Amino acid sequence: MPAARFQGTLEQVDETCFRIPRSYMPGMRVEGLIYADERLIEEVKSGQAPQQVANVAYLPGIQMASLAMPDIHWGYGFCIGGVCATDPEQDGVISPGGVGYDINCGVRLVRTGLAESEVTGRLKGLVDELFRSIPTGVGRTGKYSFSHQELKRMMSEGVSFLRGRGLATDDDVEFTEARGCIEDAEPECVSERALERGTRQCGTVGSGNHFVEVQVVDEVVDEAAAAAFGLKRGMVCVLIHSGSRGLGYQVCDDALRALRDTPARYGVELPDRQLVCAPIKGPEGRQYLGSMRSAANFAFCNRQLIMWQTREVFERFFGRSWQQLEMELVYDIAHNIAKFEEHLIEGRRKRVCVHRKGATRAFPPGHPELPARYRPVGQPVMIPGDMGRASWVLAGAPGSMLKTFGTTCHGAGRAMSRTASVKAARGRRIDRELLEAGIIARARSHRGLAEEQPAAYKDVDLVVDVVHKAGLSTKVARMRPIGVIKG
């Protein structure tokens, strides 16, 4: 059930940040901070998500503040857009609600050497071929099948497992967050049911807001960063959004059941049972971390195989190899994950567990974890909007390390529930409306398109303005959709 509606007052800190003081509820260990501006904050106040920001402030070991990005909306446990860091040396906990059911849902941007003029007249055929060739939707399986033993290797090795099978290149590994492998994954912690669900789902696009989208770079804001990312105005790109599919969902479901009584055993009182958690240093926490990392590595491989199939479609359709088409990976980044990172907190370097639930890592220029090519300009950050307006590429900025544990937003954020979206679309054909705007959309059902119609989302330009002004990530290029396939 959704959290209770927020009953407090949001105190404005500056033009991009609002505070929930610790005094709002007894038991809050830190304050809550919501990044938004006056154009977005009224909508935020009207929902349950601010209450979830306050609830997260109860977690043992939480550092600095409970945070939310401007794409904030209600989620399970944590709000979507929620961020927190916990310190294992201060009895810090790990909470599955701070990662979500779709573990390592994320995005991957592929640039091409094609100009918009080379695609426009053939766009319908290209989108139809993508839709025929890439499995999309609930329960869909694909052409790649792995035994349980192979899945365990994949979950341990990440994208390097696919490189060994000729399904990834060295650059594909290099330009994936964490080189496509979260360390210390423990596939033996993953249930047989989860393995069964993942057997033939690697290389498939989920339902809901997951997609493969053909886009055109229609505006370049930062020439230096765009050049480093290999982007230029008029270039055709492909943005891929998917996660760990049924395997990750099952890992989360298993963990929520296993941890149901854990907070009480450790004397932890929580305002919302959806925030079930376990000490990072305890056996229950280690079990979840091992399985969550395994699912995260599966998700990196899922997006890699979706990209591989996309390359194959472009090869067949344009009669040239993907190398000749210059279909290179710009970057792949997670936005539902918990990772151990080093951050400066109250003047001390600490290794903390950063929960990002619908939020994107945004490391700044010079960060040692970035590929050498991107170190001078910062990490690429891909922010999908809705399928009728735009998406953005940004670069991580120094402010993210000071304010948000190296984090920025992950998308536009929903403005309407899926039920409300379907109701609002009654009597309309969203595919035809998109076609009139020059966008070809293919989905498994009219309902799926209705749920994901442009009006269901906030304006991504407004969301991106907030993180840009706040110094969490800076604008590089705006991408306009021209074709999309969805589940």
DSSP state, residue 332: E
How do 473-486 and 440-442 pair as beta strands? parallel
Beta bridge partners of 108: 240, 332
Helices 123-133 and 283-318: crossing angle in degrees, nearest 10, is 140
335 catalytically annotated: no
Cα–Cα dist 91/332, whole Å:
32
Residue with tokens 């004397």: 267
Of the residues 73, 241, 343, 410, only one is catalytic, namely 410
Cα–Cα dist 306/223, whole Å:
29
Single out the residue of 156, 159, 154 nearest to residue 180, CA to CA. 159
Cα–Cα dist 68/409, whole Å:
9
Burial class (CB in 10 A: 0-12, 13-18, 19+), 164: exposed
Helices 283-318 and 245-258: crossing angle in degrees, nearest 10, is 170
Helix (H) or strand (E) holding 20: strand 17-20
Query: What's at 86, amino acid-wise?
Result: T
CA angle 70, 443, 128 (to 5 degrees): 120
Single out the residue of 397, 411, 410 nearest to residue 471, CA to CA. 397
Single out the residue of 169, 102, 154, 175 nearest to residue 297, CA to CA. 154
Q: Which residues are catalytic?
A: 410
